[in-house]
Structure 1
Amino acid sequence: MKFNDVTFPHPVLGIADAIGGITGFLNNPQITVSDDRYKIVIECSLTNNDLIKLLQEGKAEFLCEATCSNTVYRENTLSDNARIEFEIPKKQVKGKVEFICLLVAQQSLPNYSNADAHRDYSGFTFDLDKGDILAFFGEFTFDADIKYEKLKAVSSFMEVVEREDIEYTNIDLKKSKIEVQLPTNEYNIYRSDVIAQEIKFASIFHSSLVLNALLTALYNFEEHEDYLWAKALKYRLANEDQFQNLNIKEKENIPEIAQRLLGNPFGRLLSGLNVIVESTESEE
């Protein structure tokens, strides 16, 4: 359900200007991953005296509805306070999981009204049933196919592969991960033990091969938002403080976004080169 397009016969806080007050989330909803389940923690924000009074009297409660259309999973979690915590077994969801957070009537509320309701409701009262919606806090989603615990690893959104029919490196964005496709000869060099297993070369790869591929992906982000690599990056951009003031739609931000995603690759490159030089000098 998309609440932006929903109307109710009674005033609901958070829907248009039906009731004066503020709803939302105190912080971004937190998703913690364990071996077999996701733990969800949500903190709702509410400022409306009449609704707060209903909560204090035990006549209203917080509700979060979680649904996954791919597995027909649906679960409601109720809470008597603004912090809602629950767990979802991994095996019960796949792909997009959607959440809606509400304040609902805990019991029947005859002759309900709200002092801060829009003037269109002036003089009217409403008989509400248990479960009727009083306030809407917001919606959010996460993708159960994304390995959230490994999001900061480059391997979570990019991989280097061999492609026999090309002469020059190609970047393929139409896969679940960004694919850096190398011609066979270059790929064999890349995979050789002397290159692939040498940790000192990691910063060189990040500042060259990986950064170039990531820039290509970010500059073409909007056309590929349905791919898993884009969803993983979008989650990081929305949930990490370091990206708070960097809008990916403003193209001039993309070089900085890419460098932040890779943990300052140029700085690590220079430090890595210094380590290589020092180690070489010590061997002489």
Structure 2
Amino acid sequence: MEIKYKLYPYPVLSSYSNDYGNGAFDVAIDIVRDGYDLRIDFLATLTCQSLQDCIKQGVAKYVYHLECAQTGFRTIVQTDKVSKVYTLLNKAVNGKLQICPFVVAVDDLKGFTSPDFHEDYQGIAFDIEAGCVMAVGKMVTVDISKDIDDLANTPSIFNISKNPDESCKQMLVDMSQRKIIIKLPISDFYSYKAMSATPLAQPILNSL
């Protein structure tokens, strides 16, 4: 999700509009490794008293939208605190992670107004429905590079076994079952077993 410059039917605090004459909303986002997972630290800075009051009254919250297009991961983190820690599972994301900060109404607001409105809106009150955006921060895009292979623990699609028929001198392949069954002649099977115990030989065996 990318934040688009858009117009709202009511004033919204953002860096790309002048709906508010005073006030700002920004979020510092820090991502650190926590074992295999990621710990995301959010620290919001909101300098609009009327929006702060909405959060204190429980009618608005800080909302962080997290999305990874490569894995299809999407979630939101809600809090009424300026600081928030969220643990993101390593398997959930890969590549670019987009984080969009908002202040969102979580309850209907009747007659909302603010002395920080631009002069064009002074003296005007707005009805804002639950779920509507009240402030927009700057989107952050983070490249998540993995140090571990997601496929490392994936079960093999092959089953390699010894052919009990000693007269058979070639490899037999059976693809009629859930796994591909590979039957090796007795001498080849024991050679395979000996090589598979050597880590340096495993990539060669896999390519073969």
TM-score normalised by the chain length of structure 2? 0.64
The structure number with the bigger radius of gyration is 2
**Alignment check: 8 A CA contact 1:62 1:84 kept:** no
Q: Give 3-state SS (helix, strand or coil) of 2:138's partner.
A: strand
- Cα distance between partner residues in 2 of 1:2 and 1:119: 29
The 4+ residue runs of structure 1 with deviation greater than 6 A are none
**Alignment check: 8 A CA contact 1:45 1:137 kept:** no
Across the aligned residues of Structure 1 and Structure 2, the Cα RMSD in angstroms comes to 1.7
Could you tell me which residue of structure 2 aligns to residue 17 of structure 1?
Answer: 18
- Percent identity, please: 24
Kindly provide the amino acid, as one letter, of the partner of residue 46 in structure 1.
Answer: L
Could you tell me which residue of structure 1 aligns to residue 142 of structure 2?
Answer: 142
Q: Give 3-state SS (helix, strand or coil) of 1:52's partner.
A: helix
Instruction: Give the CA deviation at 1:93.
Output: 0.9
Q: Give unpaired runs (5+ residues) of structure 2.
A: 148-208
TM-score normalised by the chain length of structure 1? 0.48
Kindly provide the amino acid, as one letter, of the partner of residue 127 in structure 1.
Answer: D
Q: How does 1:22-33 map to 2 (within 5 A)?
A: 22-25=24-27, 28-33=28-33
Could you tell me which residue of structure 1 aligns to residue 55 of structure 2?
Answer: 55
1:102-154 C-alpha deviation (Å, 9 max, x unpaired): 1111211012222211123234322211121111222111111265xxxxxxx
Could you tell me which residue of structure 1 aligns to residue 155 of structure 2?
Answer: none
1:40-61 C-alpha deviation (Å, 9 max, x unpaired): 0010101111111112212211
Kindly provide the amino acid, as one letter, of the partner of residue 59 in structure 1.
Answer: V
Corresponding pairs, count: 145
1:1-51 C-alpha deviation (Å, 9 max, x unpaired): 4435222111111241111202213xx421111333111001010111111
- Cα distance between partner residues in 2 of 1:146 and 1:17: 40
Q: How does 1:191-270 map to 2 (within 5 A)?
A: none
- Cα distance between partner residues in 2 of 1:84 and 1:17: 28
Relative contact order, CA 8 A, sep 6+: which one is greater? 2
Kindly provide the amino acid, as one letter, of the partner of residue 48 in structure 1.
Answer: C
**Alignment check: 8 A CA contact 2:104 2:135 kept:** yes
Could you tell me which residue of structure 2 aligns to residue 119 of structure 1?
Answer: 119
Name the one with the larger helix percent.
1
1:185-235 C-alpha deviation (Å, 9 max, x unpaired): xxxxxxxxxxxxxxxxxxxxxxxxxxxxxxxxxxxxxxxxxxxxxxxxxxx
Name the one with the larger strand percent.
2
Q: How does 1:56-71 map to 2 (within 5 A)?
A: 56-71=56-71
**Alignment check: 8 A CA contact 2:26 2:46 kept:** yes
Kindly provide the amino acid, as one letter, of the partner of residue 85 in structure 2.
Answer: E
- Cα distance between partner residues in 1 of 2:59 and 2:35: 38
Kindly provide the amino acid, as one letter, of the partner of residue 43 in structure 2.
Answer: E
